[in-house]
Structure 1
Amino acid sequence: MRHFDAWLPALILAVLLTVTGWAWLGRPVDLPPAPEAKLHCASYTPFRGDQTPFDPTMIIPKAQIEEDLKRLQSTTDCIRTYAVNQGIDQAVPVAAELGMKVLLGIWIGRNPVDNEAQIKRAIELAKAHPETVKAIIVGNEVLLRGEQTGETLAGMAQRIKAESGAKVTYADVWEFWLRAPDVLKQSVDFITIHILPYWEDDPLPVSEAVKHLESIVAEVQEAFPGREIVIGETGWPSEGRWREDAAPSIVNQARYLREFLVYAKAHQLDYNFIEAFDQPWKRYQEGTAGGFWGLFHEDRTPKFSWTEPVSNYPNWLTLAGISIALGFGVLVLADFWHHRPGGVARVVCALGAMLAGSALVLHFPHAWMASRYDPKWVLEWEWILECVLGVQAVATAVLLILTTVAGRLRDTGASLLEGITWIRRPFRLPTIRDSIAVLRLAALLGAATVSLGLAFDPRYKDFPIAAYLVPALFFLVTDIARGGLFAALADRREEAGFALLLAGTAVYVFINETPLNLMSDIWVVLTLLLALPGIGAWRGIFQRRRTISSNPASRPTAASPVL
């Protein structure tokens, strides 16, 4: 380690800043404590891992339900279910053994045969366990999906009430209850509404979410004077895509639920939280946030305390250690100790390596979250793609640090055409310059693909900020260091094309997502940073055109084509 001593001050500074950054991310936030020891009720869907309601052969083992309800007992004495097939009906006798209550849901869809099977089984369960079945919920958001009419649902509710002797209700988003026909309103014992501020057409930040819920409850109470109103679903996701300034996080989830509990206690409002446990299968159907509404993680560990301060990264010190270890790994791969660049270069490279390590630590949990569960695939292509993005970030960091410490910044200016030329002959061993060109091409192509996805299919697309943080910042710094950021570059049509595409999609995404979406804003900045070298490419194109215009003899021939 010939020059390690020269690197030591820069390394110490980088390590201290990394720890400081993680400490800030993991800082605990004080929140109002839950006013009651137990929650009124929580939605229970038993699926774990690759289990899914879309698999008709799936039968949930009774032992799995017993384990789940025993875990929930310390949090609530009531569960809400949504169907009585696939073994979920076993939740009723298990709850009876444990002294718990059940809001028994039946799944009503378009198929009359399936609907009849759900109705008959619910009636049987209510008759067998009258002390356990608190009420039967005759369908969930059926009007929202447009699968049955309100009149049909009313007939089902009347029949189930008459044959089971249990209370009945119907559950839907609050707006659809206001539009429901009078016959449905009169056929249920109480009104069950869903209020999910995150999913509203105009999403709200968590700071305004409970106030918004209060106004909706008041509106529904005014529409149904004298009727009992129950909030059948409310909650907040702990991870997932931002919707404007509605930001999923563990702290925000805990804040919403705990502030809601204070409100519900003060107004003696009955409620059910969605949901007990995270459901990975919902990511494929609802986007990333769909899988993270649980009070408990998928592994059945609690996400936060109901009385203590809450942190998004309670294990931040461990994450900081992993980030630092990965950062040193990047420096080792870049052979840093064999070189002694200037002091500024050493600081920039040390900080860059630790930034790359932190970006990787942030990226891989995001990669798992963003890889939506699809039972048709054994190896999910989205997960493979996310892993490739992580490898791309490491390779970019290693090569750009290597060229910086070795005094070979000229190699970082490799054109996209050089990368394309190597790709056309991939069996030739790439030089460092070839590799950097290919990595820049991959970063631009990937960023353009993501931005186009965000423009045309935004609901199911996330912002892979951590993965593109390294290419965007590292290429920017090296371009500035070699003085090539805005330099007029001849024959760089590929760079010019990508710059135009990235700038155009950045503007569209910024407008479509609104400036309130911080994740969108950061993504737009990263894509514009990747597009910046294209300014030099366009300058080169315009200079060449001016030259041709003023000197016709310089016009390109068939032997020397130029744009």
Structure 2
Amino acid sequence: MDAYEQLGLPKGRAICYSGFRQGQHPGGQYPSYEEVREDLLLLQGHWKYLRLFDCDAHAETVLKVIAEEGLDFQVMQSAYIEAEMNNFNCPWGGGVYSEEKLEANKEGNQAKIERLIAWANRYPDLIFSLSVGNEACVDWTDHYVPQHRVAGYAEQVKAGAKQPVTFCENYVPWLIKLDKLAAVVDFISIHTYPVWEYKHINEALDYTKENYYAVAGKFPDKPVVITEAGWATKANGRGINPENVSEAYQKIYFEQLMAWVEQENIFTFFFEAFDEDWKGSAEPLEPEKHWGLFYIDRTPKPAVQHLISPQPNPARSVR
């Protein structure tokens, strides 16, 4: 089923946007109105759809800038739900919390869901869909939320807002355990990262296709959107083979992926717009910091250099 058609949307490119710059991070300093405006003017005309990750101060600024500046974007607005159950399988040991913290997270998640509904109703022409979480059910997550709780949040949002509701998750849980959640959401959102699964660039597109068609085949009556697919440009060897990442490989994957999804009308958000140095470990080569199509200083990587108009050379004579 064509997700664009089901959602009543014109076809267009989509990208995950998080605008944290050098020294900024969630819970600390957030991007200013002018910084967000600068980002969105850079993206406008090349991408139609933005995916925002949480109902936080950053997303609030993004929505405000789009509305007040009259920019041509539509937004998938998400609520980033935190751990409600310990996950002892988290490989970096980040999935274990006190009972007090888990209870506080439940209260915080409920507040986020209520905010998600409020924003959806405040910006009905700007927000086109709503996600009730991000990678909260996969086996390795550090913010595990049981399926029935996620389904409950989805039902609450569906009751309170008119936009279609989804949940963004790695493709594997959709294949093995999220049938009850799939029955609740209006469309399924999957993440596919061949490079995290040690695939070489020559295998990458075929592997992405395999992931997508496996989920689409399991749920033939539900639209399937790819809400994350991308290629890191640096890696420290932990989880990603450094030999498999480079700016040249990102360019190849970006171009191949866009050609396929546009030919097949598969709604796909590329991950992501800008590098974010707050993510992951303190190591400079931490891959989480290097997924952007643009560097953190907003200059383009090779995959998107052609999108940026060259500046006129004042030394060049005009005859």
TM-score normalised per structure 1: 0.45
Report the equivalent of 2:217.
222
Structure showing greater radius of gyration is 1
- The answer on whether the counterparts of 1:264 and 1:270 sit within 8 Å (CA) in structure 2 is yes
CA distance, structure 1, for counterparts of residue 217 and residue 49 of structure 2: 28
Distance apart, 1:237 and its partner CA: 0.9
1:241 to 1:57, Cα distance in 2 relative to 1, 3 A: closer
Q: Which amino acid aligns with 1:98?
A: L
Q: Which amino acid aligns with 2:292?
A: G
- The answer on whether the counterparts of 1:174 and 1:220 sit within 8 Å (CA) in structure 2 is yes
CA distance, structure 1, for counterparts of residue 44 and residue 223 of structure 2: 26
- The answer on whether the counterparts of 2:293 and 2:304 sit within 8 Å (CA) in structure 1 is no
Deviations 1:483-528 (Å, cap 9, x if unpaired)?
xxxxxxxxxxxxxxxxxxxxxxxxxxxxxxxxxxxxxxxxxxxxxx
1:78 to 35, 49, 55: 49
Report the equivalent of 1:118.
112
Deviations 1:302-330 (Å, cap 9, x if unpaired)?
1125596xxxxxxxxxxxxxxxxxxxxxx
Which residues of structure 1 form unaligned runs of 5+?
1-37, 309-563
Deviations 1:98-144 (Å, cap 9, x if unpaired)?
13111101110130122122112211111111111111111000112
CA distance, structure 2, for counterparts of residue 128 and residue 278 of structure 1: 30
Is 1:129 the counterpart of 2:126? The answer is no
Report the equivalent of 1:297.
295
SS in 2 for 1:156: helix
Is 1:51 the counterpart of 2:49? The answer is no
Distance apart, 1:49 and its partner CA: 0.4
Deviations 1:456-491 (Å, cap 9, x if unpaired)?
xxxxxxxxxxxxxxxxxxxxxxxxxxxxxxxxxxxx
Deviations 1:267-320 (Å, cap 9, x if unpaired)?
111100110100011242796211111011101111125596xxxxxxxxxxxx
2:58 to 87, 90, 95: 87
- The answer on whether the counterparts of 2:75 and 2:128 sit within 8 Å (CA) in structure 1 is yes
SS in 1 for 2:244: coil
- How many residues in Structure 1 have an aligned counterpart in Structure 2? 267
How does 1:82-231 map onto structure 2 within 5 Å? 82-96=53-67, 97-110=70-83, 111-144=105-138, 145=141, 147-200=144-197, 203-231=198-226
Query: Which structure has the highest strand share of the two?
Result: 2
Q: Which has the higher contact order (CA 8 A, sep 6+)?
A: 2
1:245 to 1:298, Cα distance in 2 relative to 1, 3 A: closer
1:87 to 1:262, Cα distance in 2 relative to 1, 3 A: closer
Is 1:261 the counterpart of 2:275? The answer is no
- The answer on whether the counterparts of 2:18 and 2:273 sit within 8 Å (CA) in structure 1 is yes
- The answer on whether the counterparts of 1:60 and 1:88 sit within 8 Å (CA) in structure 2 is no
Distance apart, 1:95 and its partner CA: 2.4
1:283 to 1:151, Cα distance in 2 relative to 1, 3 A: closer
SS in 2 for 1:194: strand
Report the equivalent of 2:311.
none
- The answer on whether the counterparts of 2:33 and 2:61 sit within 8 Å (CA) in structure 1 is yes
Distance apart, 1:171 and its partner CA: 0.5
CA distance, structure 2, for counterparts of residue 84 and residue 191 of structure 1: 20
Q: Which amino acid aligns with 1:217?
A: Y
CA distance, structure 1, for counterparts of residue 282 and residue 222 of structure 2: 34
Is 1:270 the counterpart of 2:289? The answer is no
1:107 to 1:307, Cα distance in 2 relative to 1, 3 A: closer
Q: Which amino acid aligns with 1:136?
A: L
CA distance, structure 2, for counterparts of residue 225 and residue 124 of structure 1: 32
Distance apart, 1:160 and its partner CA: 0.6
- The answer on whether the counterparts of 1:99 and 1:132 sit within 8 Å (CA) in structure 2 is no
Report sequence identity in percent: 30
Distance apart, 1:46 and its partner CA: 1.4
2:32 to 61, 81, 95: 61
- The answer on whether the counterparts of 1:62 and 1:87 sit within 8 Å (CA) in structure 2 is no
Distance apart, 1:63 and its partner CA: 2.1
Distance apart, 1:261 and its partner CA: 1.0
CA distance, structure 2, for counterparts of residue 235 and residue 259 of structure 1: 11
TM-score normalised per structure 2: 0.78
Report the equivalent of 2:4.
none
Q: Which amino acid aligns with 2:274?
A: F
1:177 to 1:305, Cα distance in 2 relative to 1, 3 A: closer
- The answer on whether the counterparts of 1:239 and 1:249 sit within 8 Å (CA) in structure 2 is yes
Distance apart, 1:62 and its partner CA: 2.0
Distance apart, 1:245 and its partner CA: 7.3
Which residues of structure 2 form unaligned runs of 5+?
1-10, 84-104, 307-319
Report the equivalent of 1:288.
286
1:108 to 1:283, Cα distance in 2 relative to 1, 3 A: closer
1:47 to 1:220, Cα distance in 2 relative to 1, 3 A: same
1:173 to 1:285, Cα distance in 2 relative to 1, 3 A: farther
- The answer on whether the counterparts of 1:198 and 1:246 sit within 8 Å (CA) in structure 2 is no
Report the equivalent of 2:245.
248
